[in-house]
């Protein structure tokens, strides 16, 4: 199921474009078949027009059903799926040579050095946030949030807005999970809820992905948060 959702998210725009093209084509066929059925005089001609009309309506209904299924899966089912975090598993190398045991002082020194890793909040993020247009209000960049129900506040204010979605991901990963989506532009902040109960505490990115009415992507607004246990 998760593989299917990931595939649908990756090719979401192309799927909508393809289904939209099919819909336009068969809307035209429905109109033509309807006109032929209305103007037909002979019985056989009328039956043929009726069959073409039924076929066109069936394909049109199927395309609409597929588009609705895509929207429901991406907007509602995907955010409800529990996120899984794969932990690295060490691989035993049978051909590796044995290494001598280090003294405890060296081990302690190495451990101290290993903990000096950069905080994700200090890393440069995508410069796509625009005040009053596309921006995160809450949580602030680098903020710590308690695991559970996290309140999200953001602004998406675009005159010709097509739709937007907000997602989360982890540093070093190209996988983004959709939390929810919308298509309402607002000058004031909008509020949503992010359920993090199933997430491993640690550093995460939040991003706003916005498309205008012509499906042109806008600069992606990214912020960083750290999930901690209550």
Indicate whether 74 belongs to any domain.
yes
Question: Which structural domain, as residue segments, surrounds residue 67?
Answer: 2-80
Is there a single domain that holds both residue 70 and residue 161?
no
pTM across the whole model = 0.46
Indicate whether 194 belongs to any domain.
yes
CATH code, 124: 2.60.40.10
Closest CA to 65 of 7, 10, 15, 11: 15
pLDDT tier for residue 82 given thresholds of 50, 70 and 90 = low
Is there a single domain that holds both residue 47 and residue 129?
no
Question: What's the mean pLDDT in 203-207?
Answer: 94
Is there a single domain that holds both residue 44 and residue 137?
no
Residue 2 pLDDT = 67
Residue 53 pLDDT = 85
Is there a single domain that holds both residue 74 and residue 166?
no
Among residues 22, 52, 80, the one where a domain terminates is 80
Question: What distances in angstroms separate CA 165 from CA 64, 207, 223, one per listed residue?
Answer: 21, 8, 14
Which tens digit of pLDDT belongs to each residue from 151-170?
999 999 998 999 999 999 99
Radius of gyration of the chain from its Cα atoms, rounded to whole angstroms: 26
More confident residue, 98 or 56: 56
Residue 230 pLDDT = 82
Among residues 80, 102, 134, the one where a domain terminates is 80
Is there a single domain that holds both residue 131 and residue 74?
no
Return the number of other C-beta atoms located less than 10 Å from residue 95's C-beta. 4
Indicate whether 38 belongs to any domain.
yes
Percent of the residues in the chain that have a pLDDT greater than 90, as a whole number: 39
Is there a single domain that holds both residue 76 and residue 165?
no
What is the DSSP annotation of the chain?
-HHHHHHHHHTHHHHHHHHHHHHHHHHHHHHHHHHHHHH--SHHHHHHHHHHHHHHHHHHHHHHHHHHHHHHIIIIIHHHSPP--PPP-PPP-TTSPP-PPPPHHHHHHHHHHHT----GGGS---S--BTTTEEEEESPTTEEEESSEEEEEEEE--TTEEEEEEEEE-TT----EEEEEE----SS-EEEEEE-TTSPSEEEEEEEEEEETT-PBPPPEEEEEEEE--
Contacts of 203 (CB under 8 A, 6+ apart): 119, 120, 121, 170, 171, 224, 225, 226, 227
Question: What's the mean pLDDT in 87-100?
Answer: 44
Among residues 49, 80, 111, the one where a domain terminates is 80
Indicate whether 97 belongs to any domain.
no
* Residue 165, burial from CB neighbour count under 10 angstroms (0-12, 13-18, 19+): buried
Residue 81 pLDDT = 59
Indicate whether 154 belongs to any domain.
yes
Is there a single domain that holds both residue 72 and residue 132?
no
Q: Domain tally for the chain?
A: 2
Is there a single domain that holds both residue 138 and residue 51?
no
Indicate whether 94 belongs to any domain.
no
Closest CA to 9 of 178, 203, 197, 143: 178
Is there a single domain that holds both residue 223 and residue 151?
yes
Is there a single domain that holds both residue 8 and residue 67?
yes
Which tens digit of pLDDT belongs to each residue from 18-30?
999 998 999 998 8
Which tens digit of pLDDT belongs to each residue from 116-126?
333 433 444 54
Indicate whether 62 belongs to any domain.
yes
Indicate whether 49 belongs to any domain.
yes
């Amino acid at each position: 199921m998760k593989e299917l959702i990931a595939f649908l998210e990756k090719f979401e725009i192309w799927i909508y474009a393809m289904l939209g093209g099919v819909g336009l084509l068969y809307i035209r066929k429905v109109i033509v078949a309807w006109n032929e059925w209305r103007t037909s005089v002979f019985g056989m001609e009328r039956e043929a027009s009726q069959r073409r009309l039924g076929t066109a309506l069936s394909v049109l209904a199927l395309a609409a059903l597929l588009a609705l299924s895509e929207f429901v899966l991406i907007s509602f089912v995907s955010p409800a799926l529990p996120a899984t975090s794969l932990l690295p598993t060490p691989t035993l190398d049978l051909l590796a040579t044995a290494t001598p045991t280090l003294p405890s002082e060296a081990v302690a020194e190495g451990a101290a050095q290993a903990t000096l890793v950069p905080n994700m909040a200090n890393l440069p993020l995508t410069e796509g946030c625009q005040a009053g247009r596309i921006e995160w209000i809450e949580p602030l960049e680098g903020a710590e949030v308690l695991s559970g129900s996290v309140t999200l506040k953001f602004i998406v204010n675009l005159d010709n807005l097509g739709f937007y979605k907000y997602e989360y991901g982890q540093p070093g990963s190209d996988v983004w999970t959709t939390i929810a989506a919308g298509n309402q532009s607002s000058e004031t902040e909008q509020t949503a809820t992010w359920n993090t109960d199933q997430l491993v505490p640690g550093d995460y990115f939040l991003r706003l992905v916005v498309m205008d009415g012509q499906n042109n992507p806008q600069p992606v607004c990214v912020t960083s948060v750290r999930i901690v246990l209550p």
